[in-house]
C-alpha cells in the first residue's frame, strides 16, 4: 500500500482516485479509505487540501526506491503495472516521482546507463501512447507539460548536466514531429 502511494503521490482523495487506487491494489474502496485514515492518524500520511502524501519525505523517497526491487530488477514490471492499471490522473505524479528517484540515485560518472534502466519503460510508454487512437496530442502534451518544468528546475537547481533532461527533450521532439 505505502509503496504504491510513494510512487503516485501526492494523491487527491476524490472518490474516483480512491476507486482507481482500490482497484489497482485489489481491495475494497472502504478499506482503502480506512487505511488512508489510519495512516493519517499515525502521522505517516499528511493531508493538505484533500491531498495526501507520505511524511516524512525521506520515507516516501525510500519506499519509492523499494518499489522497484533490489537493483531495480522489478523496474519494468512495476512501471508497466502502474501505467497500465491506474487511471491517467496518476501518471504525471508517477513520472515525476520516478524522475526524482533517478536524480537522487544518479551517479555522475554513469548517469546515462542508469537513466536508461530506470526511465526506459516510461519513455516507451509515452511514445506508444502517441499512437493510441483515443489519445489526443493535447492530452499527451499535458502529461509532458506536467513533468517538463520540474525536470528542468530540478536539473538546474542541482547543476546536474543531466542526460535525463536531454533524453526527455529528444523524446518531446519525436512526439511533436
Task: Evaluate if residue 171 carries a pLDDT over 70.
Answer: no
Mean pLDDT (whole number) for 99-127: 66
Distance between CA atoms of residues 176 and 69, nearest Å: 34
Global confidence as pTM = 0.73
pLDDT score at 112: 47
Q: Which of 125, 20, 1, 121 is nearest to 73 (CA)?
A: 121
pLDDT given at position 80: 84
pLDDT for 167 equals 60
Amino acid at each position: 500500500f505505502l509503496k504504491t502511494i510513494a510512487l503516485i503521490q501526492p494523491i487527491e482523495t476524490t472518490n474516483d482516485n480512491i476507486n482507481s487506487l482500490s482497484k489497482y491494489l485489489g481491495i475494497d474502496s472502504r478499506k482503502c479509505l480506512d487505511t488512508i485514515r489510519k495512516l493519517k492518524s499515525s502521522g505517516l500520511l499528511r493531508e493538505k487540501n484533500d491531498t495526501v502524501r507520505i511524511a516524512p519525505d525521506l520515507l516516501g523517497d525510500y519506499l519509492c526506491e523499494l518499489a522497484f526491487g533490489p537493483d531495480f530488477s522489478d523496474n519494468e514490471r512495476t512501471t508497466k503495472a502502474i501505467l497500465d492499471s491506474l487511471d491517467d490522473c496518476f501518471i504525471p505524479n508517477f513520472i515525476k516521482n520516478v524522475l526524482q528517484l533517478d536524480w537522487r540515485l544518479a551517479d555522475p560518472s554513469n548517469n546515462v546507463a542508469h537513466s536508461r534502466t530506470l526511465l526506459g519503460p516510461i519513455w516507451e510508454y509515452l511514445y506508444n501512447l502517441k499512437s493510441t487512437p483515443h489519445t489526443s496530442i493535447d492530452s499527451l502534451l499535458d502529461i509532458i507539460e506536467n513533468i517538463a518544468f520540474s525536470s528542468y528546475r530540478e536539473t538546474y537547481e542541482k547543476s546536474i548536466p543531466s542526460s535525463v533532461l536531454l533524453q526527455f527533450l529528444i523524446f518531446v521532439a519525436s512526439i511533436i514531429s
